[in-house]
Structure 1
Amino acid sequence: MSFGKYFEEFEVGNIIKHSKTKTIMESDNNLFALLTMNHHPVHLDIEYCKKQQHGKILVVGTFVFSLIVGITVSDISGKAIANLDYEKIDHVKPVFIGDTLRAETEILNIRESKTKNDRGIVYVETRAYNQNNELVLSFRRHVLIKKREEKCI
């Protein structure tokens, strides 16, 4: 099975529905919060959260973003040289412990590199949804991706 796509395999307008999904566990959120030193009680303290807007623990937003980027790797950036940027990251709805997330990515634009002919830049928008098909996150990025190697005869 191939991991990732070459530049030539992307087509503007295509929407890739990523097959991987993930249910957020309390341990996922706790570990990410601790590793990144985000000790805000809204992510870790049930009693504190009961008195807040949502009444329960919120999953760390940067974890949700990182998870969704990870879900897309095998379809979008598996053959990438680099992710050049991330932009317009929108946390549309909160994510809670027990939510199951899925993602889809739309190809917005493709262009060949101006400096190297063995690669191109793919511009995409990824959208993440919870188990209720509610949009929870969206972001855009430019990915520098290898072209297929031409075979010498």
Structure 2
Amino acid sequence: MLACALIDEPESAALWRSRAAEVAGGTLGTAAVAAFVDARLALHYGQYDTADPLLRQAFAVSAPLDPYLAYARAAGAELAAAAGLPDAADLLAAATPLAEENAWTAACLARARGRLHKDRSELTRSIEAWERLDAPAERDHTETLRAQL
């Protein structure tokens, strides 16, 4: 879903979204992954006017065993930070426990803290984490943010 949407193939993204729902047995089983994808896309395209409902969607998912819960919450928290929402710090704090066992979430939340507090050291921490994860697109995006501070 995310890859197709990022390369501007909305029909393919919709197809993958429906396939995910089918495999999961309905929309409930895909709530976290859909929240993750929607928040990441809004962040990627700078659509901060849609941030509040999207991050509410990301934090409304309450399936603790869902492997995408950490991704959804981290993406939602980063979207809140990028959009400058007043509760961004609280959302970051709420998502932080999920980073203990998820390296992607930890890297994303470090970037979100860097964004929120204009903290180059957090962005550097995020860059290093993306490098360990072999995630060059995420690393490059974070390097761009750091250069803008």
TM-score grouping bracket, smaller chain normalisation:
under 0.3
- Normalized per residue, the structure richer in helix is 2
When normalised by structure 1's length, the TM-score is 0.26
- Normalized per residue, the structure richer in strand is 1
Q: Higher relative CO (CA 8 A, sep ≥ 6), structure 1 or 2?
A: 1
When normalised by structure 2's length, the TM-score is 0.26
**Which protein has the larger Cα radius of gyration, Structure 1 or Structure 2?**
1
